[in-house]
Amino acid sequence: MEDAELTREVVEKHLSTLGRSGQSFAYQFLTVPRQNLKNVSILSEYTHLRKLELPYNKIKDLSCVSHMPNLIILDASHNELSTFFGFQPPKYLKEVNFSHNQISEMKDLSAYFSLNKLILDYNSITEIKGVEKCSSLIHFSIAHNKISRISGLNNLPLKHLCLGTAADRGNLIKKIENLHTLRALQFLDISSNRIHSLSGLQNLPLLGSINFESNMISEIKEVSYLHDILLLRELNLKRNPVQEQPDYRMMVIFLLNRLTELDELAVTAVDKVTAVNKYDPPLEVVAARDHMTHMVYQHLQPQVIFDSTLPSLDAPYPLLILTGPQACGKRELAHKLCQDFCDYFAYGACHTTRGPYFGEEDGSDYHFVLEEEFQNMIRMGRFVQTMQYGGHWYGLSREAIESAAREGLACCVHMEIEGVYSLKNSYFEPRYILLIPTSTEEYISRMKARGLYSNAQIDTAVSRIDLYVRVNREQPGFFDSVIPSDNREEAYMRLKQIVEDFLGLHEQGAEGDRTRVIPDSSSQGENGEALASQKVEVNPADTDSMNYWNKVQARLTPQKTSAELASIHRKKQMLREALMGKSPGVYPQLFKRHAHTAPSLLGPPSQPGASSSLMPSFGRPLSDRIEDSSSEESRASSGLSVHSSAGALSAGSPAEGLDAGSGPKVEPLDISVLGQNLESLKDPLESGLTPDAPRSVPEQASPTPLTTSPGRPGSNAKPILPPIPSGRKGDTPSSRQSLTGQ
Ligand SMILES: Nc1ncnc2c1ncn2[C@@H]1O[C@H](COP(=O)(O)OP(=O)(O)OP(=O)(O)O)[C@@H](O)[C@H]1O
């Protein structure tokens, strides 16, 4: 088509929207696209126009606009304009589109004070200027020009700024600068430039959408510059090198968790939860994972029930946990408590991969192990819980708890709150005492005085005080007691008092003449809950005190909820039914264990060496192994291959005389013999006895003196409940004999 001149006929054909103009009516809109128009001077006669659209023509001169004082919208895109606003400013001109022209330079537009929207895409402009005084400009687009610096936009009320176009070449901008005064900015397109960093966008509080496609962002950490833009919902980083980073999307979603769209893909709630659980899991999630890990690894090991240390079917080993931020004094207090209450508590030394501080001895504060050994222990199912603190692993092993239990003592452990969360998932029901610094200054100076910690470590420890305080505030009952730890003596006095309360213990008479005051069995609810008001004295030599252990446990265990009580009731019911031959569940198996293992029923226990027959090589024929496993001897001295919950059912350990590398190997229970043994146990049960009901001495007594089996778990030489009414290691042989009926 040839170049054309706009004629009156053509104009009249394209006029529209009749409206009042002064005293008369006139057409106000003219749209003449794609006519190859070069000369539009005739428009000087159409002074009433308010909207003029002439896109896709060949116009070079727009001086006619000077005669349109009422013009509001001008679209001269896709023409051949090289002059920037080559006309007198119409007073109300609001929107101008000069995109796809040949403009190379911007000029002063201060006379265009109504200008609201200016589009200059696809020109050859090298510098943004002339708009500084356009105090109404809220939409400015200058994509695909030759801009190399962001400038000339200071303090404009811009809401929408476009400096690039994802579809094509944007500009030549290398860094984000001079945008900080654009406090109203909501949308920024800066795609297809050469920008390496997102720095410079920090102070744009209303920014909701950023298109950064086709730039040169390569580090995920760059998105942290956007972290404080609270309204940011859409971010496009497509075609940036950062996309190659492993886990890019999840990490960005985690860092900018308010996004609803990333790289033009919706960010779902599931994405957000997954990202948080991956990169900053809540304590509950960390604990659940930790617990699951140890349960899985424990279950991968052959399971053994060491009934010699099981307090009862329902009661896990007693545990006292001192928790609080690092260096709050809990370790010191734990040691002192175990010293002063050595009849009740043994210090549970955790394992750690950190090196010993000066003066720390292996096995006394911690078991210091290498990372590889620690990981190996995890895989061997040796831990009840683990956590990483300050780049080191810490873990409480089953063995730490059981070795205390073997001595008839509760295990006292100190740990961080993550460990508490993890233990709360486990079968154990410890008492938790929080030791919390109330004076930050004192806490800091104490840490500094120890000379062990860097400033960063101190900062971390201090910042965690809030975590403890928050948990204590938001989850009443999470800790059984809270003690300010600023003054060690006072803290210890308080701790001592609390522990004595837990144990129902009173100092009576001279030092060393302690009388334990614990709830009478008759004052306990059916499910072991302590009725604190009624107390009886316990004489260590009194055979009625066989349930001493249970009573200590009841004291250390928080009151059960009604749901827990109902569950326990159900379990007991199952047990009764099983023993009556109604159900072959796991409880009859547990009970059968006693039938087989109790020496009074099966004769003397096997010697330690005999346990090798309990560890058949897997290469042997199955029939042999079955035969072995059904032999009286093997059953008498083995545990059971039963999957368990943490705590009551324990994996073997070197201390237990089992192969550390492979763990104890035991045959599965032979169900066929279960029935017979259940029969033999019916009578006691029908007479109202349950495994955790108090028993008379002859029922529990072992024909083998305890001294022949020094409390080795799994030896099954002891009765089910450890006959240690005084609960201490210092029992005299005579008192033991009287307890065991020997
Ligand atoms: N098994 C565990 N689980 C969780 N936290 C643990 C465990 N064992 C130790 N911790 C805790 O890890 C933190 C770091 O232990 P570490 O012994 O290195 O610190 P510390 O400087 O000696 O302080 P503290 O005097 O509190 O022990 C301490 O708060 C400690 O109580």
Same domain, 538 and 591: no
Q: Could you tell me whether strands 160-162 and 139-141 are parallel, antiparallel, or unpaired per DSSP bridges?
A: parallel
DSSP conformation letters of 374-412 = HHHHHHTT-EEEEEEETTEEEEEEHHHHHHHHHTT-EEE
For ligand 1, atom 13, name the residue with the nearest CA: 326
> Does 71 score more than 80 pLDDT?
yes
Cα–Cα distance measured from residue 607 to residue 628, given in angstroms and rounded to the nearest whole number: 16
Phi, psi (rounded to 5 degrees) for 95: -125, 130
Report the separation in Å between the CA atom of 365 and the middle of ligand 1, taken as the mean of its atom positions. 10
Tell me the chain's radius of gyration from C-alpha atoms: 40
Phi, psi (rounded to 5 degrees) for 402: -70, -30
Helices (H), 517-604: 548-556, 562-579, 586-597, 599-602
Query: Where residue 711 falls among pLDDT bands split at 50, 70, 90?
Result: very low
Cα–Cα distance measured from residue 691 to residue 669, given in angstroms and rounded to the nearest whole number: 20
Same domain, 718 and 658: yes
Cβ of residue 419 lying under 6 Å from some atom of ligand 1: yes
Cβ of residue 396 lying under 6 Å from some atom of ligand 1: yes
Task: State residue 697's pLDDT score.
Answer: 31
Cα–Cα distance measured from residue 734 to residue 742, given in angstroms and rounded to the nearest whole number: 9
Burial code of 583-597, b = ≥16 C-beta within 10 A, e = fewer? eeebbbbbbbbbbbb
Task: State residue 3's pLDDT score.
Answer: 76
The distance in angstroms from the start CA to the end CA of the chain is 121
- Does 506 or 69 have the greater pLDDT score? 69
**Residue 588 structure tokens:** 């009859």
Report the separation in Å between the CA atom of 267 and the middle of ligand 1, taken as the mean of its atom positions. 39
- Does 63 or 565 have the greater pLDDT score? 63
Phi, psi (rounded to 5 degrees) for 242: -60, -25
Specify the 3-state DSSP secondary structure of 36. Answer: coil
Same domain, 617 and 511: no
DSSP conformation letters of 462-519 = HHHHHHHHHHHHHSTTSSSEEEE-SSHHHHHHHHHHHHHHHHTEE--SSTT--EEEEE
C-alpha distances in angstroms, 491 versus 330, 488, 557?
Answer: 10, 5, 22
Report the separation in Å between the CA atom of 452 and the middle of ligand 1, taken as the mean of its atom positions. 13
C-alpha distances in angstroms, 687 versus 223, 579, 602?
Answer: 71, 12, 21
> Does 303 score more than 70 pLDDT?
no
Specify the 3-state DSSP secondary structure of 563. Answer: helix
Task: State residue 260's pLDDT score.
Answer: 98
- Does 402 or 713 have the greater pLDDT score? 402
- Give the residue among 165, 162, 168 at the shortest CA–CA distance from 128: 162
Phi, psi (rounded to 5 degrees) for 204: -115, 85
Answer yes or no: is 86 within a domain: no
**Residue 148 structure tokens:** 């190399």
Specify the 3-state DSSP secondary structure of 86. Answer: coil
Task: State residue 1's pLDDT score.
Answer: 64
Same domain, 497 and 348: yes
Answer yes or no: is 170 within a domain: no
Same domain, 501 and 419: yes
- Average pLDDT on 110-114 reads 94
Do the beta carbons of residue 237 and residue 212 sit within 8 Å? yes
Domain end marker among 503, 531, 553: 553
Domain with 716, as residue range(s), is 584-740
Phi, psi (rounded to 5 degrees) for 299: -70, -20
Burial code of 178-214, b = ≥16 C-beta within 10 A, e = fewer? ebeebebbbbbbbbbbebbbbebbbebeebbbbbbbb
Longest dimension (CA), the chain: 127
Cβ of residue 319 lying under 6 Å from some atom of ligand 1: no
CA dihedral 283, 286, 291, 294 (to 10 degrees): -150
Best of 326, 385, 392 for a ligand 1 pocket test (most atoms within 8 Å of beta carbon): 326
Task: State residue 558's pLDDT score.
Answer: 59
Report the separation in Å between the CA atom of 330 and the middle of ligand 1, taken as the mean of its atom positions. 9
Tell me the average pLDDT of the chain. Answer: 76
DSSP conformation letters of 654-690 = GGGTS-TTT----PPP-GGGHHHHHHHHHHHHHTT--
Do the beta carbons of residue 49 and residue 71 sit within 8 Å? yes
Report the separation in Å between the CA atom of 396 and the middle of ligand 1, taken as the mean of its atom positions. 11
Same domain, 499 and 607: no
> Does 660 score more than 50 pLDDT?
no
Cβ of residue 389 lying under 6 Å from some atom of ligand 1: yes
Cβ of residue 404 lying under 6 Å from some atom of ligand 1: no
For ligand 1, atom 7, name the residue with the nearest CA: 415
Same domain, 427 and 533: yes
Chain centroid to Cα 527, Å, comes to 34
Q: Which residue in this structure is represented by tokens 């886990």?
A: 247
> Does 620 score more than 60 pLDDT?
no
- Average pLDDT on 117-143 reads 97
Report the separation in Å between the CA atom of 557 and the middle of ligand 1, taken as the mean of its atom positions. 23
Q: Could you tell me whether strands 265-266 and 261-262 are parallel, antiparallel, or unpaired per DSSP bridges?
A: antiparallel
> Does 556 score more than 70 pLDDT?
no
Q: What long-range pairs does 193-201 form, CB within 8 A, spacing at least 24?
A: 193/163, 193/164, 197/222, 197/225, 198/222, 198/223, 198/225, 198/226, 199/175, 199/225, 200/175, 200/176, 200/225, 201/176, 201/225, 201/226, 201/229
Query: Where residue 22 falls among pLDDT bands split at 50, 70, 90?
Result: confident
**Residue 2 structure tokens:** 């040839």
> Does 424 score more than 90 pLDDT?
yes
Report the separation in Å between the CA atom of 326 and the middle of ligand 1, taken as the mean of its atom positions. 6
Answer yes or no: is 522 within a domain: yes
Give 29: exposed, middle or buried? Use CB within 10 Å, 0-12, 13-18, 19+.
middle
Answer yes or no: is 559 within a domain: no
Answer yes or no: is 402 within a domain: yes
Task: State residue 713's pLDDT score.
Answer: 34
Answer yes or no: is 217 within a domain: no
Do the beta carbons of residue 651 and residue 306 sit within 8 Å? no
For ligand 1, atom 16, name the residue with the nearest CA: 326
Atom of ligand 1 nearest to the CA of 325: 29
Same domain, 480 and 427: yes
15-24, 231-240, 481-490, 677-686: segment of lowest average pLDDT? 677-686
Answer yes or no: is 500 within a domain: yes
Cα–Cα distance measured from residue 28 to residue 51, given in angstroms and rounded to the nearest whole number: 6
> Does 191 score more than 50 pLDDT?
yes
Task: State residue 293's pLDDT score.
Answer: 95
Stretch (H or E) spanning 207? none
Cα–Cα distance measured from residue 107 to residue 227, given in angstroms and rounded to the nearest whole number: 37
Do the beta carbons of residue 421 and residue 328 sit within 8 Å? no
- Average pLDDT on 521-534 reads 34
For ligand 1, atom 29, name the residue with the nearest CA: 326
- Does 122 or 573 have the greater pLDDT score? 122
The fraction of the chain above a pLDDT of 70, given in percent, is 67
224-269 per-position pLDDT tens digit:
999 999 999 999 999 999 999 999 999 999 999 999 999 999 999 9
Report the separation in Å between the CA atom of 409 and the middle of ligand 1, taken as the mean of its atom positions. 22
Report the separation in Å between the CA atom of 318 and the middle of ligand 1, taken as the mean of its atom positions. 21
Cα–Cα distance measured from residue 366 to residue 404, given in angstroms and rounded to the nearest whole number: 15
> Does 75 score more than 50 pLDDT?
yes
574-612 per-position pLDDT tens digit:
655 554 544 333 222 222 223 222 233 223 333 333 333
Identify the DSSP state of 642: -
Cβ of residue 387 lying under 6 Å from some atom of ligand 1: yes
The fraction of the chain above a pLDDT of 90, given in percent, is 60
Cα–Cα distance measured from residue 470 to residue 466, given in angstroms and rounded to the nearest whole number: 6
Domain count, the chain: 2
Q: Which residues make Cβ contacts (< 8 Å) with residue 360, sequence separation at least 6?
A: 366, 368
Same domain, 471 and 517: yes
> Does 523 score more than 60 pLDDT?
no
Task: State residue 573's pLDDT score.
Answer: 66
Same domain, 539 and 622: no
170 residue type, one letter: G
Same domain, 589 and 713: yes
Same domain, 425 and 519: yes
Answer yes or no: is 684 within a domain: yes
Cβ of residue 414 lying under 6 Å from some atom of ligand 1: yes
Task: State residue 600's pLDDT score.
Answer: 30
Report the separation in Å between the CA atom of 322 and the middle of ligand 1, taken as the mean of its atom positions. 10
- Give the residue among 413, 455, 459, 464 at the shortest CA–CA distance from 436: 464
CATH assignment at residue 526: 3.40.50.300
